[in-house]
Amino acid sequence: MEKTNFVINSNKKIASDVYEMKLSGSVKDFTAPGQFVNIAIEGLYLRRPISVCNIEAKENGQGELTLIYKVVGKGTEKMSAMTEGTVLSLLTALGNGFDTKRCEKSALVVGGGVGVPPMYGVTKKLIEEGKKVTAVLGFNGAGDVFYEEEFKKLGAKTVVTTADGSYGIKGFVTDAIKIMETEGGEAYDFDETFACGPEPMLKALYNATDITGQYSFEERMGCGFGACMGCSCKTKYGNKRICKDGPVLVKEEIIW
């Protein structure tokens, strides 16, 4: 973890209520995709946790972070109005992140809504490691879809679902996965799942597949770095803090 200032390079709308922010600063402490930052926002007491979507590392530990966030309340509303050049205080490299080494050959990457952003970083790393990736991205409707092209550019087989059927496959991510399972063979040869999204999606996925995997969770946070016990959850491996021992839990330890 590092407490450090970042400068906003760009901040633009990429889907309904969803923004992509790029910022420059020190990225030296990041160790894995799926880690998050905690952002101080002027006028608000608590920091706001947002997952890292992508890191473009430059020299001397500096680099550019991409964050994707949905406007849901005061903090994200303020973020959406921020302009290029604005300086933000971030706590960086929080949480454990995903362990891409647990995947041997072929990964099923699943993202739902604003759970999609961290899956971009995971996909990028898996592909760099020479693994095959199938990404299933779930949204509510056509207006909510983002980053389909970006996943394709990384080289992932990318499938989009929308709940209302206005784009891609109609239904939930699990419906798309059922289709792959029925097809079988190459289409369903995964040895690890990586997932982030709303809890009902994670639970449906957990029940829908027998594949081992890593699931990223959300909780209201006080600190984001393990000091307050605000974000605890019970797992089969004991009590964990989502912010420090998570946000990624392995499938074997999850208790719903």
Ligand X SMILES: Cc1cc2nc3c(=O)[nH]c(=O)nc-3n(C[C@H](O)[C@H](O)[C@H](O)COP(=O)(O)OP(=O)(O)OC[C@H]3O[C@@H](n4cnc5c(N)ncnc54)[C@H](O)[C@@H]3O)c2cc1C
Sites of contact with other proteins (CB under 8 A): 1, 3, 40, 44-47, 91, 219-223, 225-234, 239, 244
Q: Which is nearer to ligand X, 37 or 133 (CB)?
A: 37
Report whether 148 contacts 137 (CB < 8 A).
yes
With respect to ligand FES, which residue has the nearer C-beta, 1 or 127? 1
Question: Which positions from 221 through 240 interact with ligand FMN, judged by CB under 6 A?
Answer: 222, 228, 230
Residue closest to 247 by CA, chosen among 177, 199, 208: 199
Chain centre to alpha carbon of residue 44: 24
231 binds ligand FES (CB under 6 A): yes
Determine, following the binding rule CB under 6 A, whether residue 74 of this chain makes contact with ligand X. Answer: yes
Main-chain phi, psi angles of 136, to 5 degrees: -115, 115
Among 112, 192, 247, 254, binds ligand X (CB under 6 A): 247
Stretch that binds ligand FES, among 131-139, 188-196, 205-213, 238-246 (CB under 6 A): 238-246
247: preceding bond cis by omega (within 30 degrees) = yes
Q: For residues 23 and 231, which CB has a smaller minimum distance to ligand FMN in the complex?
A: 231
Q: Is 241 in the site for ligand X (CB under 6 A)?
A: no
Confirm or reject binding of residue 187 to ligand FES (CB under 6 A). no
Interface residues with ligand FMN (CB under 6 A) are 222, 228, 230
